Amino acid sequence: MSVHIRFLGGAGTVTGSKYLVEHDDQRLLVDCGLFQGYKQLRLRNRDPLPVPPDQVGAVVLTHAHLDHSGYLPVLAREGFQGRVWTTPATRDLAQLLLPDSGHIQEEDAAFANRKGFSRHAPALPLYTVADAMRSLQRLHTVPMHRAFEPLPGWTARFSGAGHILGAASLLLEVAGRRILFSGDLGRPDDLLMLAPDAPPEANVVVCESTYGDREHPNEDLLAELGPALQRVAARGGTAVVPVFAVGRAQALLHAIAQLKAADALPQGLPIYLDSPMAIHSTELFARHVGEHRLDAAQCRDMAEVAHMTRSVEESKAIARQHGPKVILAASGMATGGRVLHHLAQHLGDHRNMVLLTGYQAPGTRGATLANGGTTLRIHGQDLPVRAEVVQLASASAHADAHQLMAWLRALPRPPQCVFVTHGDMDAADQMRRRIQTELHWQALVPEHGSTWPA
């Protein structure tokens, strides 16, 4: 076949999604994500792509999360000159996420240099705020469901994927082939986002498998979150909540607003949203009413339930507030950002709590906490974990295995092959087996760097 897919990320792992589609001398990259988690994965961010960036004609983003968009500043800095196609909401979020990512990397490198715990002298950020700002100039938006031409002779169309604002599945048509990329699929019953659209017909499907080996519990977020926060408030402790600034932060704020309205939480319990990016992302929900489940009043309640701490000084001042409180801070897997400082301060006290709110990729600090780790390494120090650790099983923004299978079953016709990606090896392989045994379709888990005909 004349169309091929090279799996440059998101293969055998739940991070770093990059799928290079090639036909003749044209190349298009679907997603351009950062690797996160295990160090050997993060080191891939420093490796050059096997294709020079100036030979990539276009990029299409399924959504704005950094494991799908966070490598764009490197790609642009190293010579990429094409357009980056997104939905309007993905563009709005990327304008927040990418500069913030550059800022965090600059801060972490500077902190490592001051404290001397990096093995590199000096420690250098993967990219800077300036790199991120330059990459944003490449963004070009197209509405959901409207056909567009990312490269001459190639046709593409976004459809709703749920998950977060702007998240899309992508149908790509080239040389008579129809390739469907699921993107990250949301839950049909998500607290914030609309259910994913039914998939269109395709020859080949590239499907995520984040939760390909498990199903979500029936318990809803309010029923799970309320008792946990009541418990930590009753003992005068602090709940530190690592949140994904886009999506889970807003789901938690919406849930807390509902709990307070129902008097299921103390009215005076202080809530802090300590993430400028999460604050701006929360404001975007009011701009994109109609693309999620909340009305204007609910968007307002969500934005007003917490004290919004934008500056570093305001963030540090939270530590001086006595009594019970709840601190929501990015990042969701505790890989960087302000949440590390809050964890360092509160992990050692048994009255406190760490609330994990989403998928924790292996190798991240969040995964260490979820797996019962007794120490956590932060800024070069191993800190004891005495705080209660609670993982909210109902807070995930990803479709579970049953929901992923239901989405595949909705395809109008069986595809010739399903590539199972964006999942840890066990999750991806269990998903592959289910597709083969239940649907009787060809399915495989591509290896990192492998090339397959489409």
Task: Report, in angstroms and rounded to the nearest whole number, the Rg of the chain calculated over CA atoms.
Answer: 21
pLDDT band at 1 (very low <50, low <70, confident <90, very high): low
Q: In whole numbers, what is the pLDDT of the chain averaged over residues?
A: 94
Asked if pLDDT for residue 397 goes beyond 90, the answer is: no
Fold (topology level) of 3-214+397-453:
Metallo-beta-lactamase; Chain A (3.60.15)
Sign of CA dihedral 228, 230, 233, 234: negative
Find out whether 197 and 161 touch, Cβ atoms under 8 Å. Answer: yes
Cα-Cα-Cα-Cα dihedral sign, residues 61, 169, 213, 415: negative
215 Cβ contact list (under 8 Å, min separation 6): 400, 401, 402
**Which ranges of 305-373 would DSSP assign to H, the alpha helix?**
312-318, 339-346, 365-370
375: left (phi over 0), alpha (psi -120 to 50) or beta: beta
Mean pLDDT of 268-276: 94
Q: How far apart are CA 126 and CA 437, in angstroms?
A: 43
Measured distance CA(2)–CA(115) in Å, rounded: 53
DSSP state of 211: B
Domain ranges of the chain: 3-214+397-453, 221-391
Tens-place pLDDT, residues 343-389: 999 999 999 999 998 888 888 999 999 999 999 999 889 999 999 99
CATH of domain 221-391: 3.40.50.10890
Q: What's the CA gap between 208 and 196, in Å, rounded? A: 13
User: What integer is the mean pLDDT of 182-207?
Assistant: 96
For 122, other C-beta atoms within 10 Å of its C-beta total 9
Percent of the chain with pLDDT over 90: 81
Cα 141 to Cα 137: distance, rounded to the nearest angstrom: 12
Tell me the pTM. Answer: 0.90
The Cα–Cα gap between 275 and 116 comes to: 26
The per-residue pLDDT for range 126-184, each reduced to its tens digit, is 999 999 999 999 999 999 999 999 999 999 999 999 999 999 999 999 999 999 999 99
Report pLDDT digits (tens) over 29-86: 999 999 988 889 988 999 999 999 999 999 999 999 999 999 999 999 999 999 999 9
Find where tokens 């005495």 sit. 386
CA distance 355 to 17: 27
CA distance 105 to 375: 24
Query: What is the band of 118 on the pLDDT scale with cuts at 50, 70, 90?
Result: low
Beta-carbon contacts of residue 263 (< 8 Å; ≥ 6 apart): none
Amino acid identity at 271: I
State the CB neighbour count (10 A cutoff) for residue 7: 22
CA distances from 250 to 191, 203, 335 (A): 10, 36, 19
What is the percentage of the chain residues whose pLDDT exceeds 70?
99
